[in-house]
Amino acid sequence: MLARLTALAVVVLLAPGSALPAIHYIPGKGDAFTFYETISVSGGYGTYQGYAETTAVNGSLNITAVASNRTENASFDYVEHYTNNSGGNLYSNPRGNFTFSASSFQYVQGTDDQPGYTNPYVWFYVNNSLGVGANLFLLNSELAVQSRDADFHLGTSAGDWVSTLYADGTGSYLRNDAYGTFTATYDWKAYFDAATGYVVGYVYTEHDADGAGDGFVYVDTLSVTGASYPLTPGAVPASSSPTSPLVVEVVVALLVVVVLVVLVYALARRSRRDPRLPRHSAGGIPRYEPPSPGPAPPPISLAPGDQPRIQQVVVKEVVKVNCRFCGSLIDSTAEKCPFCGATRT
C-alpha cells in the first residue's frame, strides 16, 4: 500500500497553485475498511405521524484481487439490526462477493447488496484526482467536489477529525415502494480520503411528501471505523469563547420552557394518533397480512326435489266442563275430577 502511494506521488503534476495527483489511486489487494451506518425514518406527519424506524449496520469491505484490466474483486459482510416503534425487530447478515471497475467506478458483476439501481456507480470509492468543481457519481446520484481539504469528524476508533475530499449533491425522484408514492428530495454530503478515494463518511438526508399531506424524513449516516491505510488527520475546530453565566442561565431557562411545551404537545397528539400507521421491514416490505376468509355459504337450489320436507303440527283443542260436584273446570275427557275425585258420571 505505501509503495503504491509513493509511486503515485512521483507522477504528481505540479501545476501553478495546485497539487492534485495526475492519475487517480488504483485499489490494491488487501485494501479494506470497516464502517458503522445508521438509517432512520422519523419526523413523520399525516399517516406517518409518530412513526419511527432505525437500521444499524456494522459492515466491512475488502479488496480480494485485482485483474490486469483494473477490474477489482471485493467481498462485503454486513450485520444489520432493524427496529421500529410498531414492534418490528429484524436481524440480517448480507454478505458476498462482487466486482467493480477502477476505471469507470461502476459495479461490473453483482453489488454489495445494492438493489434497485440501474448501472450504478460504487458508493465507497471515487476518483481522488478530481479538483474542486468536478463532478462524480455515487450509485445513481451526481455530486460536485466542494473541497479537497474539508475536515470531517469521524468520532470512531478510526480517529477523530480527518481531512477529506468533500462532495455534495442534491436532487429529487419519485419514490414508489412499500412506504408509498412520494416526491423525494435529497441532499448527499460525502467525504473521501484524498489519497485513495475511499469513503470516510457521509450524511444523506431525504424529505418525502405526497399531495395527501403525508410524509417523513429519511436519514442515512456513515462513518469509517477502521482502515488498512492511514487517514489524513484534520484540524480540530477552535473552541468558542467563554459564555457569561447570565447567558447560560437564560439559555437553560429557554430550553426548559421548550421541553415543557414539547411534552404538552406530544401528550395532546398522543390521544389523536392514528393507530393504523404503516409498518415496514428492513427491506421495505409491508408486514400486513390479510385476514383469512370464512367458510363459504351453502349452495342455494330452487328445484322442488331439493327443498326440505315441511313437518305439519296439529294442535288439538280439549273442551272444558264443570265438575257436577265441586264446580271446577275439568277436561271433558277426564273420568274423575282432579280436584275432588268425584267421577263425571
* pLDDT at 103 exceeding the cut of 90: yes
37-75 residues labelled b (16+ CB within 10 A) or e (exposed): bebbbebbeebbbbbbbebebebbbbbeebeeeebbbbb
**C-alpha cell read off for 22:** 495526475
Burial class for 163, CB neighbours closer than 10 Å (0-12, 13-18, 19+): buried
Gap between the Cα atoms of 127 and 136, Å rounded = 8
Residues 141, 188: contact at Cβ < 8 Å? yes
The pLDDT tens digits for 4-61 are 333 333 333 333 334 566 689 999 999 999 999 999 999 999 999 999 999 999 999 9
Distance of alpha carbon 312 from alpha carbon 339, whole angstroms: 35
Per-residue pLDDT tens over the stretch 174-232: 988 888 899 999 999 999 999 999 999 999 999 999 999 999 999 999 999 999 999 99
Q: Which pTM value belongs to this model?
A: 0.66
What average pLDDT does this structure show over 106-123?
94
SS3 category, 221: strand
Res 217: pLDDT: 96
Say if residues 165 and 146 touch (Cβ distance below 8 Å).
no
Output the average pLDDT for the chain.
Answer: 78
Residue 318 vs residues 334, 337, 343: alpha-carbon distances, Å = 10, 15, 18
The answer to whether the Cα torsion of 156, 162, 167, 169 is positive or negative is positive
Distance (Å) of CA 209 to CA 20, 85, 218: 41, 21, 11
- Which grid cell sits at 238? 477552535
Measured CA angle at 5 (ends 107, 222), to 5 deg: 50
% of the chain with per-residue pLDDT over 90: 55
Residue 321: pLDDT band (50, 70, 90) is: confident
Residue boundaries of the structural domains of the chain = 27-227, 317-345
